[in-house]
Chains A and B, each alone.
Chain A
């Protein structure tokens, strides 16, 4: 009988970091499935490749930093980064693009700052933003949705960047890209004049809905609180709605903003990243609204096809400031009016 001496509490919820990460990974599956349904095997191949790279780099860096490898590898954070990169990259991105993104996010954005928990920026977004700036052409190759490549063709494209039969007929500008170059036409008008774009819009909508489903699963599993994603969607929706009301021809509607591009992916899987986000509930609201507004501004007036990477990185920068000003009032620090929570 060796009695241990420990500080209370002696009980634990048995909640683990790896459990949270597994939930996040599982919640991406609906989005992954829908994305693959519309765009073929590209995302899947990318995902496997990114996961392999992320685990590999993580293990190497942990070894170099003389940290225990297995406990950190199994916490799942590297896999989450890999998943987010793979899902955010276009399905047609070649192997080296993923390599650059993963390498940069795991080594530079994560471990050089001290590893999990100490990175001020979301690693996946750092890797994504780098690729967006360095390789804009590859980053905007989205496939058309009318026909998908076979697995073999996709595999060939992934490694060689050529497909027997040529790729030209397969790639399209993204709906978001077109949204900004409507030449004064509304989206419905554009869609009716260009059926392929219409299809793209539909695909984008379904993908976003799938990610929304994943996000709701995470909310139900209490992996994160509702504050950040809801605030982000509200911020984006509000701005989009306001401008759309003023100039419906120039600015697409709120629902189109919310259901195109990576809106839902970022709202539920990236804005909710706790490490690089704000801390308190109030802070998360501010953080989310900030991301929403920045996404709208960059999408509407910027020169990049999608904006969430930059919006999130910019808000990551201001997270410490937000934290400073949104510290909650501790118990008993202000005379509160009775806060009713229903009858017993």
Chain B
């Protein structure tokens, strides 16, 4: 027997495996409808390559991997794609996500399969391609795309097959090994071929004697594969824990097993590799345990990926009235689902339909007495109670200092806690918040940079403008100087300047002659406005001065009188021109006001509409108001076109 090691902590919950591991795997027929989430794995979601209405054969690619960490999805049965829509995902949040919905036609007709007759001849890249194409992801629970782990950057000396199945209740891998031992061994050999023939250790808990016997029977002397029986202790099936048990080595912090020359694969995953390469079948079914006191026919079922939980439960005769908690996955790490329309995905290894009192009740939790049982149980060698205090107090930095990120959420601490504190939920909360805070910090840093760049840009633009203006000025000055230099004989510059000014005046006058009447009107208007403002200002200054008995008052008085006449003259000029043009500013003002009023009424009515009791009537009112508004706008527009048309006619006349 091979030497094995022990990992720190761990617990021994009741196994509850005999309910489901007695009977052979039953193949469940294709249900009426299959729901396939585009994201069944870690990493990027796949991209649908079919559209509603398409007919798909069993095994046909329906969504393709996007990027390195992603996986293909295939049609589990033949039928028509009925929708691409949001459906409830098998996720703790019970949120929806994009799914491909297939209405099966019952024919279960395979598309073209490309089985490999002699896989030994396949090159490494061929093997990888086939695994990738078959959409294989980790079948143990996390669902990491399989091909990613199988192309490590460093050389691999040990391949570990995780057959521990340490979670209570689950027996899917147990039954799989009993019934498909040969396929599993062949699958392992294919993976060994891919990884340059490392030694292979199958880690299996000693509570599965039949599976151990089946595997040993399938092995022969010449294979570099060994079945390692380990003590039954939760969570020995955790990747890091299993590696420590079998090799005595610990995966370095923030590292991956490949860093120490180890690759770990679930036993279900190697079976899928066998199916993909030897049979040419993509990953479209899996073995799922249905168990719990509410399940009459508890056992293991081979179900199509995408089968709804409701269908599986009905097939296993689960009494939904007796079920108080539906857990997807095992009781230690699984998540509850509330919607039985949730589909089975590639990583769904168990559905636990628990009756009342079968699982831990929603107990009141007491305060932590720092008993330290959690520390004894923690397989990650953390201080769970300290993490709990930090998570509760939202002291996330301290939680990180105490290596919260190394927590594997196995639940051993919460299982032993005498105060029944939901410790794992506290850690998940803290982890989620830390992630969100980190995102926020990153976004803030980005925003800060963008803000600063923008400020800099604005400053640059301003200074560039200033620079241009200066350049123009100097250029003009230089041109003048050049002119003068070129023409030094011309008499004194003052005379020249005067001449220029006169010339310009003349030019201006000639330029003004063809001035459009609109411009004249505008000029007159401006002049009138300017004098009016001046007058207002001065008269105000005058009253101030008078109030203070200032000596300037007399001077100001004169200015005011002069300005008054000036304003009167300007106003008269403007008025004369207006009559000449046939304009009526009073009328325009009135029209403008009526437009604004109509506008206001519409707004008000719309506001009322939002909270109104009888929206029909108010809608009618709004329509009325809109009509009024339109009429008013039309009138105003007509009037303004007069302004542009009439002057021309006025000029002509």
With contacts A10-B327, A330-B380 taken as known, whether A4 is within 8 angstroms of B362 at the C-beta atoms is yes
Given contacts A15-B417, A331-B380, A338-B248, contact A8 B253 (CB under 8 A): no
Find out whether the CB atom of A335 lies under 8 angstroms from the CB atom of B13. Answer: no
By a CB distance below 8 angstroms, the chain B residues around A323 are 386
Q: How many A-B residue pairs have CB under 8 A?
A: 197
Mark each residue of chain A from 315 to 339: 1 if its CB lies under 8 Å from any CB of chain B, else 0: 0000000010001111111011011
Residues of A within 8 A of B418 (CB): 15-17, 19-20
Residues of B within 8 A of A (CB): 1-6, 8, 11, 13-14, 92, 94, 168, 228-231, 240, 244, 248-255, 320-321, 323-327, 329, 331-338, 352, 354, 359-360, 362-364, 366-373, 375-376, 379-383, 385-386, 402-403, 406, 409, 411, 414-420, 422, 424-425, 428
- A224 contacts B by Cβ under 8 Å: yes
In the complex the two chains form, is A117's CB within 8 Å of B370's CB?
A: yes
Are B251 and A275 in contact, with the CB atoms below 8 A? no
Q: Please, could you name 11 A-B residue pairs with CB atoms under 8 Å apart, sorted by A? A: A3-B325, A8-B335, A9-B331, A11-B359, A12-B359, A12-B415, A279-B375, A332-B252, A343-B1, A344-B1, A344-B230
Q: A7-B422, A8-B329, A9-B415 are in contact. List 13 more A-B contacts (CB 8 A).
A: A1-B324, A4-B362, A9-B411, A10-B331, A12-B360, A12-B417, A13-B11, A115-B367, A279-B386, A331-B379, A332-B250, A332-B255, A343-B1
Within 8 A of B (CB), among A114-130: 115-118
A 152-189 contacts with B by CB, 8 A: none
* Contact present for A13 and B13 (CB under 8 Å): yes
Q: Which residues of A contact B336 (CB under 8 A)?
A: 3-6, 10
Complex contact A328–B424 (CB within 8 A): no
In the bound complex, CA of A12 to CA of B360 (Å) = 5
Q: Is the CB of B367 within 8 A of A117?
A: yes
**Most chain B CB atoms below 10 A, which of A323, A336, A339:** A339
In the complex, A16→B366 CA distance in Å?
A: 9
Residues of chain B within 8 A of A118, CB atoms compared: 367
Chain A residues whose CB sits within 8 angstroms of the CB of B92 once the complex forms: 5, 7
A1-55 interface (Cβ within 8 A of B): 1-17, 19-20
A343 to B6, CA, bound (A): 10
Give the contacting residue for A339; candidates B248, B251, B327, B414; CB below 8 A: B248
Given A1-B321, A280-B383, also A8-B334 (CB < 8 A) = yes
- On whether the beta carbons of A332 and B253 are closer than 8 Å, the reply is yes
What bracket does the count of chain A residues touching chain B fall in? Answer: 35 or more
Residues of A with Cβ closer than 8 Å to B? Answer: 1-17, 19-20, 71-72, 75, 77, 115-118, 222, 224-225, 274-275, 277, 279-281, 284, 323, 327-333, 335-336, 338-344
Q: Are B403 and A333 in contact (CB under 8 A)?
A: yes
B371–A5 contact, CB under 8 A?
A: no
Which of B329, B362, B364, B419 has the largest number of chain A CB atoms within 10 A? B419
Contacts of A9 in B (CB 8 A): 331-333, 360, 411, 414-415, 424
Q: How far is the CA of A12 from the CA of B359 in the complex (A)?
A: 7
Q: By the criterion CB–CB under 8 Å, are B240 and A332 in contact?
A: yes
Select from chain B the residue with minimum beta-carbon distance to A9: B411
Complex-state Cα separation, A273 to B121, whole angstroms: 66
- CB nearest neighbor in B for A326: B383
Indicate which residue in B240, B372, B424 contacts A225 across the interface (CB closer than 8 Å): B372
Highest count of chain B CB atoms <10 Å: which of A3, A14, A71: A3
CA–CA, A3 and B340, complex, Å: 10
With contacts A12-B360, A224-B372 known, is A344 near B332, CB below 8 A? no
Instruction: Report whether B367 and A4 are in contact in the complex, using a CB–CB cutoff of 8 Å.
Output: no
Residues of chain B lying within 8 A (CB to CB) of residue A20: 369, 371, 418
CB neighbours (8 Å) of A75 from chain B are: 366
Give complex CA distance A151, B385 in Å: 46
Question: Do A117 and B369 touch (CB < 8 A)?
Answer: yes
- Contacting pair A327 B402 (CB below 8 A): yes
B428 touches A7 (CB 8 A): yes
Report A-chain residues with C-beta under 8 Å of the C-beta of B376: 225, 281
> In angstroms, how far is the closest chain B Cβ from the Cβ of A253?
33
Closest to B340 in A: A3
In contact, B332 and A11 (Cβ under 8 angstroms): yes
**CA–CA, A343 and B229, complex, Å:** 11
Report chain A residues within 8 Å CB of B363: 12
User: Which of chain B's residues has its CB closest to A342's CB?
Assistant: B6
A343 vs B331: C-alpha distance when bound (angstroms):
30
Beta-carbon nearest neighbor of B326 in chain A: A3
- The chain A residue with its CB closest to the CB of B428 is A7
**A332 CB, min distance to chain B CBs, angstroms:** 4
Q: Which residue of B lies closest to A7 (CB)?
A: B425
